[in-house]
Amino acid sequence: MTKYPLLVRDVLKRKHFESAKLIAGHQGVNRQVLWTHILEIKDFDSLINGGELILTTGVGLQLERTTQIAYLQNLIRNGAAALCIEIGDYFDHVPEELVALADEHHFPIIIFDKIVRFIDITQDLHTYIINQHQQALTQLDTISKTFMELSLMPNGILKILQVLHQDTNAHFLFVSEDTKSFYYPVEAKKHLRLIEAHCQQHDVQEPIHLLTIQSDNFVIIPVNGLGQVWGYLCMHTKLPKPSNYMLLNLERATMSIAHILMRNRMLQERQQSREDEFILALIQGQPVDIQHYQSYLPIESRNLFHRVVVLNIHYQAHIVSEEDWQEVQLHNAMYVRSILKKLGFFPTVSVRQHEIIILAFYIAADSVKESQESFDQAIQQIVSRKAPQPFNKLAITFGISNVYQTIESVPRGYKEAKSVIQMQHNQLASSIYFKDLGVYRLLLQQDNATLLQYVKDYLQEILLIDQKNGNDLYQTLCVYLACNGAKNDTAEQLFIVRQTLYKRIERLESILGNDFLQAPYRLNLEMAMKAYELLNKTAPDLLRL
């Protein structure tokens, strides 16, 4: 790694190459030389890593022509920088076939007409490379400190781009969907729309993305934060491939830019007390001056809808300390907000101790306003493997309300989302949508006393018999109704013989009547059973009949 890489053309200018001649591969003089290697054998696949300047007296080239060609092809395939041959007793000329092959692959072949000391060449070049490497490390350390200092200053991203330009003389851009884009120098602006469009269309994720458009070469590096891509740092360069020094420099710059973006987002989240106040007032049904809080809401539209989304996050002391929990919750809210924005939502977010409440506004046609696809996609991304720590280790339960259009519906939506979470905790539902709770949507609107009386009206005698004698009449009734009166299926699911089942059914008929499978009596029984299950989970003490 060097700031100014050693190229073949630079090697040709060194003292020990004064008598050297470049006889092939003239277009490859910009190949980088990483090291030198004396090679006198024909089988060397495991001996070179790429970028070596190969020195040879030609001992390994004293072969038939096909083997000589294979030798040169192997050097090219293994990424050697160039081949230096000492013309003398072992090898007196370079065949035309080798010259043609080298020219075809832009692979430089250098010859020495006079005897040279390979040890002098290696010592000179290795000293140069090592010194450059040490100098580059020092420069990287210095520029890293500069980046960190600039990240604390106003307009820090632009100032970082200026330093990058001064260090490399290349053009730089920073593009982002969420924040302002920057470029330096002014000439770089002409590529701004091109890079923005490319990053949006291709969703660049790899650590280093190389892009060539006609004669323009671009290096694009994502700026990551909280498991998300927040923007892209782009370098416009004349070089077809950036040096290791440039890449390390860009890596340090992206880290400093990420710190700036993180700090800005943290400031935004810390300043959301009024947003918390707004949502809290809404869910409690308090009067709210919408004009006062208009900055937290999207512009009114005929096709603007919203759902209330609640994330119930279970605090786990072995993952996050109590002292850090508030800070972690702010990070969690930033992460969730960024995903929803990326998917086209207009989220208003409130952070509480163990909850994140979101008014997820979105624009849709009436025909698709109930669609859950976008919400499913958001939940999948929120809990994906790419989620940042410690978010990806926390136990999270989601609740999503029905679709509403008026802000006055927020209290109802919040209650619905909380009901979904309650039903999941009680293992009475698996869906995250209130719409999917079925008959529980009606039962949850009743107070416990009303539900208990309904259970007593239809099931009390059966439950008392089970409590007193240890019978299984209630379970038998549940399975029998679920099997729609099919006795064979019921017996199989209860793991009992049919004679036992017949006796239980006779007992049920003596209590409920012979027509308990018929509507509407059956519907009443099934509703009572659902009410019993709900009370058994939420208020078991009431069921002491």
Domain with CATH 3.30.70.270 in the chain: 273-433
Q: What is the CATH number of domain 152-268?
A: 3.30.450.30
pLDDT at res. 174: 92
Q: CA–CA distance from 4 to each of 167, 246, 321, 452 (Å)?
A: 11, 10, 47, 82
pLDDT at res. 247: 83
Question: What are φ and ψ of residue 126, in 5° steps?
Answer: -65, -40
Q: How confident is the model at residue 479 (pLDDT cuts 50, 70, 90)?
A: very high
Residue 62, pLDDT above cutoff 70? no
Residue 410, pLDDT above cutoff 70? yes
pLDDT at res. 88: 78
Q: How confident is the model at residue 94 (pLDDT cuts 50, 70, 90)?
A: confident
d(CA 386, CA 395): 16
pTM: 0.59
Mean pLDDT of 33-41: 86
Mean pLDDT of 264-269: 72
How close are the terminal C-alpha atoms of the chain, in Å? 80
Q: How confident is the model at residue 172 (pLDDT cuts 50, 70, 90)?
A: very high
d(CA 358, CA 338): 12
* The pair of three-digit structure tokens given for residue 120, joined into one six-digit string: 């002098």
In CATH terms, 273-433 corresponds, of 2.60.120.20, 3.90.226.10, 3.30.70.270, 3.30.1360.120, to 3.30.70.270
pLDDT at res. 116: 84
Torsional sign, CA 180, 181, 182, 187: negative
d(CA 458, CA 492): 26
Q: What is the CATH number of domain 8-127?
A: 3.40.1390.20
d(CA 125, CA 131): 10
Mean pLDDT of 507-517: 88
Q: Which tens digits make up the pLDDT trace of 121-169?
A: 999 999 988 888 888 788 888 888 988 888 888 888 999 999 999 888 8
Q: Which tens digits make up the pLDDT trace of 355-367?
A: 999 999 999 998 8
Q: How confident is the model at residue 269 (pLDDT cuts 50, 70, 90)?
A: low
* The pair of three-digit structure tokens given for residue 60, joined into one six-digit string: 């390994």
Residue 230, pLDDT above cutoff 60? yes
Domain with CATH 3.30.450.30 in the chain: 152-268
Q: CA–CA distance from 231 to each of 225, 234, 258, 276 (Å)?
A: 9, 10, 9, 28
* The pair of three-digit structure tokens given for residue 461, joined into one six-digit string: 């005698």
* The pair of three-digit structure tokens given for residue 223, joined into one six-digit string: 């700026």
pLDDT at res. 268: 67
pLDDT at res. 45: 65
Q: Which helix (H) or strand (E) holds 230?
A: strand 228-237
Which residues, in sequence order, are bridge partners of residue 2? none
Of 118-122, 137-141, 469-473, which one has max mean pLDDT? 118-122
Q: Which helix (H) or strand (E) holds 452?
A: helix 448-469
- Which position has the token pair 């509480």? 352
